A and B are shown apart, each in its own frame.
Chain A
């Protein structure tokens, strides 16, 4: 009897607990009422009209900005390299005389011009004095004067003959550098001489024109 009653009670309680087919348990019903308020209730999502979409943060698009900045830097570097290369080519073209040699066409002593050697050292001090290496360029074509500084020249990887230069205040030049410098000095003085002469000619002409106008105006006044 006791066993039957226990079985009945268990079955009826379990049935209600599992599929609500048995006898309702008041405690379970009470729990159902309390927890039933939290039951899922399907309804459409409502977005309020005053809702705003936040602006994209810098951090979110930082990678794209970094890519864009890299591309721009590459473009800038390319433009700079192209500009430097164009300048080098322009210098190379400009240092080659039209007829391959210097001809004195003005009232300048020709012996001064003839003393100027066509050869200019292919490498002169362009960076740190300790790394200056003076070499002859086997690729240089005869009759074409190379630019004194060749920036794109690859560095020597083998044993390099380093020449110590004490400092810019008291530079010590190699023999060929000294020769080129002396020749450059002659050319420099020649250029300055010519420029000074032309400048003074212009000033004299301008002054004489002003004086002529002044005299002319004085005659008019008188």
Chain B
């Protein structure tokens, strides 16, 4: 039979262990639910790339930016509404002069992150000539936590990472509207 002192010490240890597990589990869950994609695995390709394009907008800068959108302009009001739920936008593009400067394995670190729980691939378009474009959405219940677009063709790698509640329909409608030109990045098909 355990003495009262032994009982109390073991109960304390159990309580402490359970509390630590809860704290650690909560931290791990919080980090697991972050929609931020690390693109540092592409750093070694920067020296090979002919041109690079990095764009990082964090939440504080987006909140500051949201203040200069004109409320009386319906187009800007729509963009402001789209942006209001966002916590960050990160764009990274590497363009190469020659084909074969990078391998599919170079993107594996990013794809591995996008295979984590919470991420769902909603679009997967792949062709030999035009490369592949994958669109991933991180959701928690009915809430959208982030979006990731990973596009790669023979000469270009593009990673778009949007953090926060993003409306895909509104985002796709932005191109060619509100003074945003239709860039038509899709390369023209060759005529036979």
Q: List residues of A whose CB falls within 8 A of some B CB.
A: 53, 55-56, 60-61, 64-65, 68, 71-72, 75-76, 79, 83, 90-91, 94-95, 97-99, 102-108, 120, 124-126, 147-149, 171, 173, 177-178, 180-182, 184-185, 187-206, 208-209
Are A185 and B8 also in contact (CB < 8 A) when A103-B51, A201-B151 are? Answer: no
CB distance from A138 to the nearest CB of B (A): 21
CB closest chain-B residue, reference A71: B16
From A98, A107, A120, A126, give the contact of B61 (CB < 8 A): A120
Q: Which of B51, B125, B151, B181 contacts A206 (CB 8 A)?
A: B125
- State how many angstroms separate the Cβ of A186 from the closest Cβ of chain B: 9
Q: Which one of B4, B56, B95, B149 contacts A106 once the chains associate, using CB atoms below 8 Å? A: B95
- Beyond A98-B46, A206-B123, whether A196 also contacts B172 by CB under 8 A is yes
Closest A residue by C-beta to B82:
A192
User: Nearest Cβ in chain A — how far from B107, in angstroms?
Assistant: 15
Residues of A within 8 A of B127 (CB): 205, 209
Given A195-B89, A199-B168, A201-B151, A105–B64 Cβ distance below 8 Å? no
CA distance A106 to B158 in the complex (A): 10
Is A56 a contact partner of B133 (Cβ separation < 8 A)? no
A102-B53, A199-B149, A206-B124 known; A193 vs B180 contact (CB < 8 Å): yes
A192 touches B20 (CB 8 A): no
- Chain B residues with Cβ below 8 Å from A68 are 12, 15-16, 19
Chain A residue contacts of B20, Cβ below 8 A: 72, 75
Determine the chain A residues whose CB is within 8 A of the CB of B116 once the complex forms.
none
User: Does B91 sit within 8 A of A, measured CB to CB?
Assistant: yes
Whether B183 contacts A197 by the Cβ 8 Å rule is yes
With A99-B52, A197-B175 known to touch, is A106 a contact of B151 (CB < 8 Å)? no
20 A-B residue pairs with Cβ-Cβ distance under 8 Å, sorted by A, are: A68-B16, A71-B16, A72-B20, A79-B24, A106-B53, A106-B93, A149-B60, A173-B68, A177-B64, A180-B64, A191-B160, A192-B79, A192-B83, A192-B180, A193-B174, A195-B89, A195-B149, A195-B171, A199-B172, A202-B134
Cβ contact within 8 Å between A75 and B23:
yes
A108: chain B residues at CB < 8 Å are: 53, 183
Residues on B with C-beta less than 8 A from A94 are: 56, 58, 90
Pick from A53, A75, A177, A190: contact of B55, CB under 8 Å: A190
Chain B interfacial residues counted at CB < 8 A: 72
* Chain B residues within 8 Å of A148, by CB: 58, 60-61, 64
Residue of A nearest to B125 (CB): A205
Interface mask (B139-162 → A, CB under 8 Å = 1, otherwise 0)? 000000001010100000010101
In whole angstroms, what is the CA distance A179 to B133 when docked? 36
Q: How far is the CA of A72 from the CA of B46 in the complex (A)?
A: 45
Nearest CB on B from A60, distance (A): 8
Most chain B Cβ neighbours within 10 Å, of A102, A184, A189: A184
Interface residues of B in 167-192 (CB under 8 A from A): 168, 171-175, 180-181, 183-186
Evaluate contact between B83 and A105: CB separation under 8 angstroms: no
Contact flag A105-B149 (CB < 8 Å), given A94-B56, A199-B135: no
Among residues of A, the one whose C-beta sits closest to the C-beta of B3 is A53
